[in-house]
Amino acid sequence: MASDKITINDVALALGVSKSTVSRAIAGNPRISQQTRDRVMAYIEEHNYHPNIAAKALASRKTYNIGLILPSDYHLMDMHFFQKCMLGVCEMASTLDFDVLVALTSDKDISQLERMVIQKKVEGIILTRTNVDDIAVEFLKNKGIPFITIGTTPDPNVMQIDNDHYGACRELTSILLSRGMKRVGIIGGSKSYMITQKRYNGFLDAFRERGEEPEADLIYMDMDSNLMVENAVENLVDAKAGCILCMDDNICNCTLNKLRRMHIKVPRDIKVASFYNSSILENNIPAITSLQFDARELGVLSCKMLLDKIDGKEVPNQTTLSYEVSMKESTKI
């Protein structure tokens, strides 16, 4: 019998049991004795039998799908993070015979997510961005479907995984201040995102731990376009800022391009650092001081935690991953 053509009927005939018994044994149905299940599993492993997912789903009443929700309003520069995160999710899902369905949402429109859940297309959901007022989180809580957020949410009962953005940003800011950096400014994106809030609070607390406050005229938040970032850079240069801290790689890349056009040298004339590093900044000269996070690991672990939750296993509600501070030439004294 050719191993690549073996069917569930062949397994049943070889073991002298019914097809439904084989199907239930594969699905882990408690009505099947452990002895029978062991016989079935040993046979299909020996003969390299792979159950048809559609049939398996019908037998177990599972879709064997999970939903991955990406923000529809991400910048092109954000693509690197979401790609690596998606890769991690897909790698983990495939090892457990799950497929990944992708949908897009914004902070005001979650219709694709709603259809996915209401039509019962998935067993669980991974949200890849969290907002301060998050309608996606509230919807999923009300529906009672297992889900996990990549990013912090204020509700401690929501399963969530994230890097330690607060601690990382506080540490990098503290290092720069301890090295005598004067007039440190910051350019950040929308404060409606939880990640922005975490990074900004880390920045503020680094000053407060030294008994100081950042200068208000050097703080530029809610800079949601490249034009706004460029205007902030001009203002910081005019204000004689000694260092510009950028909340992410997109803002940092825009800042560096603007400084080049202004013929301002980094780090001779002004220092620059980023609270997030990616391939966008890797080849910059000078090398950029930044924070390193593993987006792929976030994807892998978020998927594993969700699938464990779906299987009824005990999973922690809050998981925080580490980071690395990478000091480079862009902040050299």
Instruction: Decide if pLDDT at 328 tops 80.
Output: yes
Distance CA 187, CA 236 (A): 9
Strands 324-326 and 289-292: antiparallel
Domain range list for the chain: 3-60, 65-163+295-323, 165-292+325-331
Distance CA 280, CA 283 (A): 7
pLDDT digit string, tens, across residues 69-122? 999 876 555 677 888 999 999 999 988 889 999 999 988 899 999 999 999 999
Percent of the chain topping pLDDT 70: 92
DSSP structure string for 243-292: EEEESSHHHHHHHHHHHHHTT--TTTT-EEEESS--HHHHT-SSPPEEEE
b (16+ CB within 10 A) / e for 296-314: bbbbbbbbbbbbebbeeee
Q: DSSP letter at 34?
A: H
Angle formed at CA 250 by CA 254 and CA 269, multiple of 5 degrees: 40
Record: fold of 165-292+325-331: Rossmann fold (3.40.50)
CATH number of the domain located at residue range(s) 65-163+295-323 in this protein: 3.40.50.2300
Distance CA 193, CA 222 (A): 10
pTM for the model stands at 0.78
Distance CA 316, CA 161 (A): 9
Same fold, 3-60 and 165-292+325-331: no
Distance CA 79, CA 87 (A): 12
pLDDT digit string, tens, across residues 177-218? 999 998 999 999 999 999 999 999 999 999 999 999 999 999
CATH number of the domain located at residue range(s) 3-60 in this protein: 1.10.260.40
